[in-house]
A and B are shown apart, each in its own frame.
Chain A
Amino acid sequence: MNLDYHALAPELVVAATILVVLTLDVVLPRSRKYWTAFAAVLGLAIAALPLLTLAFDDGPQSRSMMGGGYVVDEFALVLKAVFIVGGYLVLLMSVSFIESDRYYQGEYYLLMITSILGSLVMASSRDLITLFVGLELVTGPLFLLAGWRKGDSRSNEAALKFFILGVLSTAILLYGMSFLYGLTGSVTFEGIRQAAPALADSGAFRLAVLFTIVGFGFKVTAVPFHFWAPDTYQGAPTPVTAYLSVGSKTAGFVGLMLLCYQALPAVTEIWGPTLWILAALSMTLGNLTALRQDNVVRLLAYSSIAQGGFILVPFAAAAVSNDPEVIQEAASAIIVYVIIYAFMNLGAFGVVIAGARRTGSVEIDDWAGMWRYSPRVAVLGAVFFFSLAGIPPLAGWYAKFVMFLSILRPDNVWTTALAVIAAVNAVIALVYYARIGKTMWMDPVPEGIEPKADSRPLVGSLALALGITALFVGAAGVFPYEFAGVFADLAKTVTGGI
């Protein structure tokens, strides 16, 4: 078995980083533990380098290993870049947050990069086993991270809920996968793809597909598999929540894309309607529920459920058409959305961290009038929340735009209906995003929120993370192609199986 080490370099670097962090954690005295953070951040930065060399390499476009079960192509590269940059930003946000906490730092970084490694594996996986292993590698550490504040009951609770539902979803996913394998006789997507058309009418096969999708539905917090998300988001440490809503969710979408486009392109009649329903439910219920939230994190949880619904929309578009262009455009739209969503949602969580540092609260009402004492946080808050709302010229508009574009391209009554549902939801979403803007900018400062002279909301690495995300959100809003579209164009090779 030949391993292409160049192709595997990012994973190897991250794996090495895990070892380094582990070692440092063991050998360093408690007062020097911050080196683990440094090592983790550095390791991720180094892992990005081979991505660049691979991208500009003149060699084969697609590097296949392990009998086609592990492939490094443009799709994998782009998604790996998203995972690494996203993970990097989360780590930046974590540093000050974790430092100010009283818990053990070392294992935090260890777990975080382990999870990132899992997502890297997922992006390259082209068979059920690798996909499953990658998925569990993403999720496992997160169960622990959600409960990282060991003395905090909320954190415990978040972890336990996450865990129980997580393993339930894993079980369902696996049960589905076992049938996928059993009915097609193959674990590779290639093999499943070839066998699938003959099985399209089999009830068992449909069950298998559905159970697999349900498993991923958990990861992407699609309604009705979302119940864990608000509680877990609220209870987990905020940087972990940020990672959950971006890294882990993106991993879920990667899995879904691989499943739908690589393994099951021939049976769109099964997963198309399913994802249509999930998309509509997620958008609508996520948005309506978000209207009632008073806690910023919980609000972001529901907002991220709704955003997940928007990302699911293009899947439904691909399902009604055999036109490769339509399918590619849908894939491209998903990737664009994922990329832009990653930045703006991470930014939003960065603002939550900063705001919580400043006010000591994540209740929306406690943030009232923030622009008077922390204008920069308020500006950033407006940028990210209105970007999530999709208001031009912030990047979010382009994500929504391509989403609409992809769903409207097939001239079909069902997709058009979904487009209208999405449009109505886009307007509903405005209400709660605008409400945060309103609170931060237009309401008077509540009594009792005294400016804390010593707590600067924007400290070093957090400021850096917010700066990067804000720049991206601004730049991608004006030059969406250069900052997001071009990657999506590359990555739509994921539809190569069609």
Chain B
Amino acid sequence: MVLTQFLVLGALMFSIGVFGLLSRRNAVTILLSVELMLAAVNINLVAFEAFWNTAAAHGQIFAIFVITIAAAEVGIGLAIILLVFRNRASGNIDELDLMRW
């Protein structure tokens, strides 16, 4: 069955994204990992849409929204990372511990 394979792909991508998020120290890489997770979501959505195949095409609409918003988020994220980089000359998130009591 085709759906399952897509879902497995999505799950794998999601997991890779999670792993990347947890294991990478560079902020940009982390951002990429998140994108990977969002991409996994999109694969799911589109696959399900194909599975249900309704006229409303909700899955695809959803996916488009996700893509749009993901783009916006990346914009925001890069802006913040840039800010941090400018103030600290480092993109390593492990160095962010000013508020550690």
Q: Which residues of A contact B (CB under 8 A)?
A: 67, 127-129, 132-133, 136, 140, 143-144, 147, 150-151, 153-154, 156-161, 163-164, 167-168, 170-172, 174-175, 177-179, 181-182, 185-187, 230-231, 234-235, 298
The residue that A153 contacts in the complex, of B48, B66, B87, with Cβ under 8 A, is: B87
Q: How far is the CA of A151 from the CA of B72 in the complex (A)?
A: 23
List residues of B (62-99) whose CB comes within 8 Å of A's CBs.
Answer: 62, 65-66, 69, 72-73, 76-77, 79-81, 83-84, 87-88, 93, 96, 98-99
**Contact partner of A175 among B27, B40, B52, CB < 8 A?**
B40
Contact B34 A168 (CB under 8 A): yes
Give A205 to B21 CA distance when docked, in angstroms. 25
Cβ contact within 8 Å between B17 and A171: yes
A187 and B62 form a contact (CB under 8 A) = yes
**CB contact under 8 A between A231 and B99, given known A156-B83, A181-B59:** yes
CB–CB B58/A186 < 8 A: yes
Min C-beta distance of B38 to chain A, whole Å: 6
Chain A residues with CB under 8 A of B37 = 168, 171-172, 175
Residue of A whose beta carbon sits closest to that of B34: A167
Q: State whether A163 and B69 are in contact (beta carbons under 8 Å apart), knowing that A182-B47, A230-B99 are contacts in the complex.
A: no
Inside 8 A of A186's CB, which chain B residues have their CB?
58
Given A157-B98, A175-B40, A182-B44 in contact, is the A167-B77 Cβ separation under 8 Å? yes
**A-B interface contact total, Cβ < 8 Å:** 126
| B residues near A171, Cβ cutoff 8 Å | 14, 17, 34, 37-38, 41
Asked if B44 and A160 make an inter-chain contact with CB atoms under 8 angstroms apart, the answer reads: no
Which residues of the other chain, B, contact A156 by a CB distance below 8 angstroms?
80, 83-84, 87-88
- The smallest beta-carbon distance between B40 and chain A, in angstroms, is 7
**A187 is contacted by which of B40, B58, B77, B101 (Cβ under 8 Å)?**
B58
> 6 tightest CB-CB pairs across the interface, nearest first?
A182-B48, A171-B37, A178-B44, A174-B41, A187-B58, A185-B52
What chain A residues lie within 8 Å of B79 (beta carbons)? Answer: 144
A104 → chain B closest CB, angstroms: 13
Closest CB in chain A relative to B92 CB, distance in Å: 11
Other A-B pairs, 5, CB within 8 Å; known A174-B66, A182-B44: A129-B61, A150-B83, A154-B99, A234-B99, A235-B98
Chain B residue numbers with a CB within 8 Å of A140 are 69, 72-73, 76
Contacts of A178 in B (CB 8 A): 10, 41, 44-45, 48, 62
Task: Evaluate contact between B54 and A185: CB separation under 8 angstroms.
Answer: yes
Contact partner of A160 (CB less than 8 A), chosen from B41, B48, B65, B80, is B80
B51 within 8 A of A: yes
Closest to B91 in A: A160
Please give, as numbers and ranges, the residues of chain B lying within 8 Å of A157 by CB-CB distance. 84, 96, 98-99
Min distance, Cβ A362 to any Cβ of chain B, angstroms: 12
The distance from the CB of B53 to the nearest CB of chain A, in whole angstroms, is: 10
Q: Are B98 and A147 in contact (CB under 8 A)?
A: no
Cβ distance A459 to chain B, nearest Cβ, rounded Å: 28
> What's the nearest-Cβ distance from chain B to residue A350, in Å?
22
Contacts A129-B58, A160-B93; A136 near B73 (Cβ below 8 A) = yes
Once the chains bind, are A144 and B99 in contact (CB under 8 Å)? no
A140 CA / B34 CA spacing, docked (Å): 15
Chain B's interface: helix, strand, loop or mixed, by majority?
A: helix
Interface size class of B (residues with CB under 8 A): 35 or more
Min CB gap A202→B, angstroms: 13
Residues of B7-58 contacting chain A, CB below 8 A: 7, 10, 14, 17, 21, 27, 30-31, 34, 37-38, 40-41, 44-45, 47-48, 51-52, 54, 56, 58
- Residue contact B98 to A168, C-beta cutoff 8 Å: no
Q: How far is the CA of A150 from the CA of B79 in the complex (A)?
A: 11
Which residues of A lie under 8 Å from residue B88 when comparing CB positions? 153, 156
Are B59 and A144 in touch, CB under 8 angstroms? no
**Given A161-B96, A181-B48, A230-B99, also A143-B58 (CB < 8 A):** no
Q: Is the CB of B40 within 8 A of A128?
A: no
Give the Cβ gap from A24 to chain B, nearest Cβ, in Å.
22
Contact of B96 among A67, A160, A177 (CB under 8 A): A160
Q: Which residue of the partner chain B has the closest CB to A130? A: B65
Q: Which residues of A contact B10 (CB under 8 A)?
A: 175, 178
Give 14 pairs: A residue, B residue, CB < 8 Å, sorted on A.
Answer: A129-B62, A147-B83, A158-B99, A160-B80, A167-B77, A168-B34, A174-B41, A175-B37, A178-B41, A178-B48, A182-B45, A182-B47, A231-B99, A235-B98
Bound-state Cα–Cα, A128 to B58, Å: 10
Contact partners of B48 in chain A: CB under 8 A: 178, 181-182, 185
On chain B, the residues within 8 Å of A179 by CB distance are 44
Min Cβ gap A298→B in Å is: 8
B-chain residues with CB within 8 Å of residue A128 when the two chains form the complex: 62
Q: How far is the CA of A67 from the CA of B30 in the complex (A)?
A: 38
Q: Which residue of B lies closest to A67 (CB)?
A: B56
- The CA of A74 and the CA of B38, in the complex, are separated in Å by 34
Alpha-carbon gap, A21 to B95, bound state (A): 37
